[in-house]
Chain A
Amino acid sequence: MRQHSKLHKLIIPVIILFLVVITAFGSFYGYWDSASPSKTCSSCHEITSSVEILAESPHRNLACKECHGTAFSNGMHSLKEKGKMIFEHINGRSDEDIRLNEAQILEVMNNCTRCHKTEQARWLSGGHSARYKDIFLNEKHNKTEQLNFDCLRCHGMFSDLNIGELIGPLNTSGPWKIKINSTESNPVIPCLACHQIHLLGSTHQNPDYSNPQNASYNRITHNPVVSFYNRHDKTHIPAENLPLLEVWDCNRPVNVSSDPIMRNCIQCHAPNGKHEAGTSDDRTPRGVHEGFSCTACHDPHSNDARQSCAKCHPAVSHCKLDVTTMNTSYKDRQSPHNIHWVSCTDCHINGRPLNRQKR
């Protein structure tokens, strides 16, 4: 009986305390969720620099929560992250590097496609829209090259898991299985693999029409749009700051385009450690196309290179042949003349076409 009354005495204060906490927290959360970012998130000193960059970027009209989510979205990640920031703040420390987890990255991607529908459609039609199951359950690949941590550098760079937690077994005999079913259909190369939202930029404005000829001279001369997501550092590196590839064709240095977008491509379509041209996944143009950027022929989102010949070539080449019908890998996948390094001397041995030399 005495125990019962003790319990009664305890229950009422607990309920009152609970209601007070819920009301206070609910009001605060309601305000936080609806007020302008300048009065909420961006009033934190820790993220001032990120806020300032966003304010100058083309995405400045997006509210923080549209990409970073609210404290309660994405399960525990946001709550843990924001809680950690407050914890650090109170301890006189600062944690200004906010990292999105993979679920948030995919939500950001949904936001991207609200405006960038054409880019999304092109991306979907190309090789970069591969999903986890397309890449990691490819038997032929897995039997030839053992899955390892470095796979995630270019495929699944935002994965919260390491390779062993993501897929198993890590051997070349299989059978392989993605350990978390919900991951299977997620894209391994989402928009943020090559782009960042807080990108440096300037506000767009109309050219000065009083002198239209000057319009092109007022354009920016750099390309802030592409950034490579470096899984190792969990940060984006603007493509312009990526290293310029030095690649060697035997002892000859190959002329490589300095196009920042190509530097981004090369991060994954790379030669071996010695930078030997044509090794590993290298497709750096040599031969007649040496010095070209990937984007001279390939669309950056779909990777489509069809119809690209006409950008530079007249329909008929010096050989009086239609370049699109010549014996290269552009026309025929089995052709010995890879379009990335086809050279004049492939056909014109000693200055003469191969077919005439036989006569």
Chain B
Amino acid sequence: MNPQNKLSRRRFVQMAVLSAGGLSVFARCTKAYSDWRFFTGSEAKLMDALADQIIPPDDWPGGKESGVTNFIDKQLIGPYIRFQDTYRKGLNGIRESCKVLYQNSFESLDFDEQTHFLELMEDGKLTGDLWAGNFDRTFFKLFRDHSMQAYYGSSRHGGNKDNISYKMLKLDYPLIIGQNRYQN
């Protein structure tokens, strides 16, 4: 067995107890089917619009088509579980602010209006309790960084669909490099 895969006794007991408990509650696991893991359907639509603002489509697919929302959704129930509340609060803030400023949802705004709104966010100029403590700037930076990670990271994490950014950058991925050869 791979030494890296060795289980400690404590970890084994922990997992065995939880597994047994988990098995007994399986029958009651009746969570409604959703296309998304963490986001609601409307949050996912908003995320798609935000992703296309951060990485606008041109000759190459943008943030939405390259799976930015899928990446963030996947990470939020994994390594980025600590950002769940931030996203829920931030997306709600965008929804509410757009209602006040434009009487419309962010997704329904035209592209330039969306850009303008995000510029206000980036500069920390949105007002209201929802954005107290420069949360607008913090949240903008967070989803911008996560969008970049999605677009340029490995597709195994849920973004960069079909390795699209690597193709755009003409990057060999996986790396094409042969072994050294010698005369037989």
**Stretch of A86-94, A110-118, A340-348 with 4 or more beta carbons under 8 angstroms from chain B:** A86-94
Cβ–Cβ contact A235 & B37, under 8 A:
no
Write the chain A residue with the least CB distance to B26: A43
Docked-complex contact A228 and B174, CB < 8 angstroms:
yes
Is there contact, CB below 8 Å, between B2 and A233? no
Q: List, in ascending order, chain A residues with CB within 8 A of B180's CB.
A: 145, 280
Interface size on A, residues (CB 8 A): 60
Cross-chain contact A94 with B78 (CB below 8 angstroms): yes
Residues of B contacting A89 in the complex (Cβ-Cβ under 8 angstroms): 22
Q: Does B1 contact A90, Cβ atoms closer than 8 Å? A: no
Instruction: Write out the residue numbers on chain A whose beta carbons fall within 8 Å of the beta carbon of B20.
Output: 21, 25
Find chain B residues with CB under 8 A from A279 CB: 178, 181
Given contacts A84-B15, A94-B37, A160-B2, contact A145 B182 (CB under 8 A): yes
Asked if B156 and A97 sit within 8 Å, CB to CB, the answer is: yes
Supposing A93-B81, A233-B154 touch, asked if A266 and B163 sit within 8 A by C-beta, the answer is no
**Do B177 and A230 touch (CB < 8 A)?**
no
Q: Determine the interface band of chain B, counting residues with CB < 8 A from chain A.
A: 35 or more
A121 to chain B, nearest CB (A): 27
Query: Which of B15, B29, B81, B154 makes the CB contact (< 8 A) with A83?
Result: B15
B92 to chain A, nearest CB (A): 20
Within 8 A of B (CB), among A212-244: 228, 230, 232-235, 237-238, 241-243
A275 at the interface (CB under 8 A from B): yes
Whether A312 is near chain B, meaning CB under 8 Å from some CB there, is no
Q: Given A25-B20, A28-B23, A243-B166, verify A280-B174 contact (CB < 8 Å).
A: no
Interface with B: A8-16, A54-62, A74-82, which one?
A: A74-82
B156 lies within 8 A of A233 (CB)? yes
Q: Which of A22-76 contact B (CB under 8 A)?
A: 24-25, 28, 43-45, 48, 75-76
Contacts of B21 in A (CB 8 A): 90
**A80 and B37 contact, CB distance less than 8 A:** no
Q: Is B31 part of the binding interface, using a Cβ–Cβ cutoff of 8 Å?
A: yes
| Structural contact, A273 and B77, CB atoms closer than 8 A | no
Chain A nearest CB from B114 CB (Å) reads 29
* B18 lies within 8 A of A86 (CB): yes
Give chain A residues whose Cβ lies under 8 Å from the Cβ of B163.
Answer: 237, 241, 243
Residues of A within 8 A of B81 (CB): 92-93
Give A243 to B21 CA distance when docked, in angstroms.
Answer: 46
B18 to chain A, nearest CB (A): 5
Compute how far the CA of A241 lies from the CA of B22 in the bound complex, rounded to whole angstroms. 38
Q: Is the CB of A87 within 8 A of B174?
A: no
CB<8 Å pairs between A and B, sample of 11:
A44-B29, A45-B31, A76-B1, A80-B15, A87-B18, A93-B81, A95-B78, A151-B179, A241-B162, A243-B163, A267-B174
5 closest A-B pairs (Cβ-Cβ)? A280-B178, A86-B22, A270-B178, A83-B15, A281-B178
